[in-house]
Structure 1
Amino acid sequence: MLDLIELRRDLHRHPELGFTEFRTASKVVGLLRQFGYEVIYGQDAMEPSSVRGLPEKEVLEAAYERALRDGADPAIAAHMKGGYTAVVGTLRGVQEGPTVAFRFDMDALPITESTETRHVPQAEGFRSLYEGHMHACAHDGHTTIGLGLAERLSDRQFAGTVKLIFQPAEEGVRGAYAMVNKGMLDDVDTLFCQHLGCDVPLGEIHGSSAGFLASTKLEARFRGVASHAGSSPEKGNNALLGAATALLNIQSLPRFSTGETRINVGVLEGGTAANIIPETARMIIETRSVDEQTNEELERRVRNIIAHSAGMHELEHEVRVIGGAIPIVCSPELAEMTAEEAQHIEGFVNQKAMGQTSSLGSEDASYMIRRVQELGGKGTYMIIGCDLPAPHHHPEFDIQEEVLPRSVELLERLARRTLR
């Protein structure tokens, strides 16, 4: 039987960023096979042309080699080269019936984990081994819960099919889109997605959540002409100046009366030396809104600013989408079912079908839920409460590990109720 605490701590020690989850995903494949699941992964589980925000080739290769050094199964990992780290496990029950799916994200964040003695992973010896990378959003817990669920359902005593979806690159809302476009959700009747924490206390469960924003993540690149900044500045075209012009105007876009919006330029880089007119520059931008239409209008305006800023400084430019999400509308039947099943589990003392959580973040599970609903199915995004010593995406983030077994039990009950 899986030791959930040991598994979670192993994953926590080896955090891998989006599309580089070679060690994590190979472990998932191995355990799913051990439990009797049919497993597809790599490009069989993702549409390559739909992958958004794939890291540079050198980053992927370095992460792949590190994963092999740290125990990734070479035969499995080989089929994930290039960043294709999605995994889907399918198990058919003893009788025919519907298909229920559960989605779990696997990736970590580019954060240096705390070394403070009050930080439990530091004190207990399972702090990240990869400096600059950290599980600071509970995805190590999510993956652990998914594998615990896989083991619990391996008896096949249900009517229908269980599909366990292990998604790469949730951070930056990048990984789900390619899995949806590959058809991984097209046979699903019921989809449960879940997250630990999110300002919900330990012992409380929300069967649905609200407040996730539509979002687009963009990368803009500018190309000009290098020249000596002292002797011939007029012969250069300053790519960094064009990008800076775009930044100031993007951040100055007005807010909307129709709903909340967010705009941020999170990265601006370019140039090589103080005495050289910068030939290239790069920006990472995000737009967010409570509805898709407003977000699309924000994106249109951002693209317009980039194009005109490039034109002002006689630069070439290109813009590409590197991530995205849409709002989540949960199916109320599943929210009610979740609250009902949680009542039977020791440790869940407060059950809410429709939670008041309003994260104002974004989640690309939204594409999966929308796809299932478009095809006549149902989907929800649950919040499983967990007291946190620090906020999500913080160097001292951690989870209370006692939430893991009760979360597995909850998902098992949901699966068996849906498939009885």
Structure 2
Amino acid sequence: MKVVEWRREFHRYPEIGFTEFFTASKVIETLRSLGFSVLYGQDAMDGAARFGVPAKEILEKAYHQAMKRGANPALLESMKGGYTAVVGILQGKESGPTLAYRFELDALPIEESQSTDHLPHRFEFRSRLKGQMHACGHDAHLAIGLGVAEKIADRNFAGTIKLIFQPAEEGVRGARSMIEKGIVDDVDLIICQHIGMGVPTGQIQGGVEGFLATTKLEVTFLGEPAHAGAAPEKGKNALLGATTAFFNIQSLGQHSGGKARINVGVLEGGTAANIIPATARMVIETRADQQEVNQELVERVYQIIASSAMMHRLEYSIEIIGEATTFQCDEELVSLVLEEAEHIEGFTSLQKSSVTAEGSEDASLLIRRVQERGGYGTYCIIGSDLAAPHHHAHFDIHEEVLPHAVQLLERIARRDWEIAHF
């Protein structure tokens, strides 16, 4: 099955957010070969609206790796600097709505398992890039996206299909840049999907509940170095300021307005035992099941950072490096997904919605944008038993579900929209 071959090819060459040069170039070439109009590079995303773009040296290293692996140089040039979004657009033979599907391009910074019972290792499609792995299923999503493109290339459908291949979903960093470029402003219906997520093989869930609003922050404290023994009073201890902030931030979390989460995931600073630390860095995330609660947490974090810096005579800066919101799936679209799933033998259990593991998704921003402009959106789960949880070195899916997912999205694309209740 070609969709399985695609999945394995993408699995071999995982690329982290905004460095998906090889992956994006292969997607562009495939879409073009099928007759799609393709937007990519800065035509598909607003560079200023990206969150958490890697350092220049990381981007350049990934760029040259993609070049060595045989990616099209002309395509790579257009993506230079981390402009790795791709949008395939195809007009049907009849008038109708604009339907968008979202698929993710990026992988995770995880070293993949070499255990003999890990199927990607046993069948020789384990990651060939050290410290990078498709450990969440985005390789499968990419393959599903191209499978759908191949199926609908005959244009035997009504309306317009947009296949959105989004960079940097991990860390919720990439969707906003595509939104700000206007990619979904003409979309009437958007369906985002994910494989696995605790849903067993054979089951499909037409919608989800429980994704959390989140904000990711990178904080830098700047002080003054000094000799820790001879003149400690002449220093300004940035690490001490960061530590003060750390303990106060971690005391936040509970809120009567809804569920709330907060975590300082990184705290680092200093260079040696005998030097007052002149710099310190923190990476923080807030989460809540209400956007308003999340925003209040963010504001309180800002206050704590400012107060901690003032207490220890420090300068500081705060950068938002990721962001997502809450959303509600539209019941009409959830029902439509399940209506089409009934016709696919691979789906033996249909459920309307599920409660997630309370993570976050920047598909939320895409769905909310479409809904705000009068459209409809949902986020469905394609069930697959997993070898290990998402974001684990031993993660793997059941590839048998891939053609079922392609068939589902193809059926929706070919639907007679006159009978849909929108």
Residue 267 of structure 2: aligned partner: 268
Deviation at 1:79, TM superposition (A): 0.6
Q: Match of 1:217, as an amino acid?
A: K
Which of 374, 388, 397 is matched with 1:376 structurally? 374
Per-residue deviation, residues 118-167 of structure 1 (Å, max 9, x unmatched): 11111111111111111110000001100110110100011211000000
1:302 aligns with 2:301: yes
Partners of 1:157 and 1:334 in 2: how far apart? 21
Partners of 2:348 and 2:210 in 1: how far apart? 24
Residue 402 of structure 2: aligned partner: 404
Secondary structure of the 2:129 match is coil
Per-residue deviation, residues 100-131 of structure 1 (Å, max 9, x unmatched): 01000110011111111111111111111111
Deviation at 1:96, TM superposition (A): 2.1
Q: Match of 1:382, as an amino acid?
A: C
Per-residue deviation, residues 244-278 of structure 1 (Å, max 9, x unmatched): 11111111114112211110111112222222111
Q: Any conservation in 1 of the 2:45–2:180 contact (CA below 8 Å)? A: yes
Residue 394 of structure 1: aligned partner: 392
More moved, 65-74 vs 404-413: 65-74
Secondary structure of the 1:170 match is coil
Q: Match of 1:256, as an amino acid?
A: H
Deviation at 1:181, TM superposition (A): 0.9
Deviation at 1:44, TM superposition (A): 0.8
Secondary structure of the 2:96 match is strand
Structure 2 unaligned regions, length at least 5: none
Q: Any conservation in 2 of the 1:198–1:357 contact (CA below 8 Å)? A: no
Q: Alpha carbons of 1:254 and 1:159: their partners in 2 closer, same or farther (altered >3 Å)? A: closer
Partners of 1:361 and 1:277 in 2: how far apart? 38
Partners of 2:227 and 2:17 in 1: how far apart? 39
Q: Alpha carbons of 1:270 and 1:351: their partners in 2 closer, same or farther (altered >3 Å)? A: same
Partners of 2:324 and 2:416 in 1: how far apart? 27
Deviation at 1:172, TM superposition (A): 0.3
Q: Alpha carbons of 1:418 and 1:119: their partners in 2 closer, same or farther (altered >3 Å)? A: farther
Residue 357 of structure 1: aligned partner: 355
Q: Any conservation in 2 of the 1:201–1:387 contact (CA below 8 Å)? A: yes
Structure 1 unaligned regions, length at least 5: none
Secondary structure of the 2:125 match is coil
Q: Alpha carbons of 1:16 and 1:232: their partners in 2 closer, same or farther (altered >3 Å)? A: same
Q: Match of 1:269, as an amino acid?
A: E
Q: Match of 2:242, as an amino acid?
A: A
CA RMSD of aligned residues (A): 1.1
Deviation at 1:215, TM superposition (A): 0.3
1:26 aligns with 2:25: yes
Secondary structure of the 1:417 match is coil
Per-residue deviation, residues 328-371 of structure 1 (Å, max 9, x unmatched): 21010111111111111111000112x22322000001111011
Q: Match of 1:148, as an amino acid?
A: G
TM normalised by structure 1 equals 0.98
Deviation at 1:74, TM superposition (A): 1.1
Q: Match of 2:144, as an amino acid?
A: I
Partners of 2:283 and 2:417 in 1: how far apart? 44
Partners of 1:229 and 1:113 in 2: how far apart? 42
Secondary structure of the 1:154 match is helix
Secondary structure of the 1:150 match is helix
Deviation at 1:418, TM superposition (A): 5.6
Q: Alpha carbons of 1:419 and 1:41: their partners in 2 closer, same or farther (altered >3 Å)? A: farther
Q: Any conservation in 1 of the 2:253–2:261 contact (CA below 8 Å)? A: no
Q: Match of 2:316, as an amino acid?
A: H
Deviation at 1:311, TM superposition (A): 0.9
Residue 230 of structure 1: aligned partner: 229
Within a 5 Å distance, the mapping from 1:158-177 to structure 2 comes to 158-177=157-176
Secondary structure of the 1:259 match is coil
Q: Any conservation in 1 of the 2:253–2:260 contact (CA below 8 Å)? A: no
4+ aligned runs moved over 6 Å, structure 1 = none
Secondary structure of the 1:324 match is strand
Q: Match of 2:81, as an amino acid?
A: G
Residue 195 of structure 1: aligned partner: 194
Within a 5 Å distance, the mapping from 1:11-410 to structure 2 comes to 11-353=10-352, 355-410=353-408
